[in-house]
Structure 1
Amino acid sequence: MKTTNENKKTIVKVVKIILIIAIWPLYLIFLVHKSEKIEKSAKKVLYIILAIVSLLWMVICLALCQGDKPTDTNDITPKNTPAVTDTATTETDNQTELFTEPVKTEPIKTESVTDSQEEIITEEMPAETKEPKKPTNFYIPNGKLLSVIEGGLSGDVLVIKVKIESQFSNIQTINQNYENIEEIIRSDMYKEYYHDTVKSIDYWAVADMTDGSEGKVISFTVSENTINNVLNNEHFNPTSYDEYEEYVQDLWILPSLTK
């Protein structure tokens, strides 16, 4: 085999190089050692220099030996190999024809999405991606606005929570909530972002109780009809507790405020 012969040649070269490297530095060291003209201190320096030179020479020779190795492994083939048979050639030709045959492709269909598919895609999209987030910083004349949330199955219920303070009388404490809801409905923010979608408003207010806790004071629902009346500049103006339910639905008032 060609590879075996080349390996043997490489080994012979390496052995020769090692012998050469091993012999001539020793010979030089021997000459320096026998010389009487060279002082002892100078001999030590020459020993060190010759040792370094011999090491460098060994590295250089080994590098040259590595460079003599064959690099193309594809050329390592037996000298006496039988010729390739015709059957192998025909198989290769058949394979080449298979690979060179043009691949039949169909044009990509560019049909538009049907209306039903668009409806399905729209329904699967989360609500927050359909439209930008609406502002919720409504102004109220009494108390502090705590939260504004769109509820209901289709976001048609606006839930408003506020915190109020007690007034000089119970009826004033209650009426301040009607002033708050009127202010919210008449605001430009409500008209622009909520009026077209909101069908009712759930309002409830909390306050600090005498025992230090926070409790609900009043809650009610404002219907779509009442919302439109407020937008037409009608006012909540109850004069007695019996009239409150004429303006709102699901009214609940803290019992202590109705005495």
Structure 2
Amino acid sequence: MSENTLVLCLSCMDRPGIVAAVTTELAELGANIAESNQFWDRQTGQFFMRIAFTSPADAGRDAVERALRPAIARFEMKTTIADLSRKPRIVIMVSKFDHAMLHLLYQIRVGWLGAEVAAIVSNHDDSRGIAEYENIAFHHLPVGRDNKTEQEEKLLQIVQETGADLVVLARYMQILSNRMSTRLFGKVINIHHSFLPSFKGAKPYHQAHARGVKLIGATAHYVTPDLDEGPIIGQETEPVTHAMSADDLVAVGRDIESRVLAKAVKYHVESRVMLNGSKTVVFA
């Protein structure tokens, strides 16, 4: 008999009985829990939980939602249920530096990243050949002072028409407007080529070189109207030395950026990231 493979994420104010209430209902449906993670934020009192499970063919997502309604109402939970049999669709946005995008495409091709690229969007035409080779729709949307609003409307249309679940800024060197960031909140991941909160804005590796740092890094975060201050999903660093030039730091950074972004996208599409105010809970 075929099975459903589902992921339940929930958050609510912490109090006794939450786990028991949820797992009891899943057991009644004949579900088998494959993975369970939970976290209690003592500062805010919020409880977070992620449960991956299989359920019988006749106990799909709708049945799980119905079964959990009493527990959801009792504990005033916020919940999402994802069906892992469906690959999330993503839109990749890129400018001229394509290393992070190429790494995403490779990880999807080899099966490590379970997603489908619905479209590639760029303010330059450089990545068109890659999109054509991968048989992915390519949209060239040049952005200037006079057409930013118009181009963002076209981007929203692409997201809606493709049914995209996530927009990935893979070194897309344009700042999304406050309106766009707000409309797609929690659905846009950016890779910033710096270990935030240090060295925000343009040319962070050159800023780091000027300060003589001994570590450089990259940060994957959700996009918000506050530039480079969205909830952080993942970060990594690499040691550097006084003998390295700014260009050397850029070269080291390319590898870090690619890794960090791919991991962040993977965590998101597997429902491993939960927003906790200005922070995230990541069940890696």
Using structure 2 for the length normalisation, give the TM-score.
0.19
Q: Which has the higher contact order (CA 8 A, sep 6+)?
A: 2
**Rg larger in 1 or in 2?**
1
Higher strand share: 2
Higher helix share: 1
Relative to the length of structure 1, the TM-score reads: 0.21
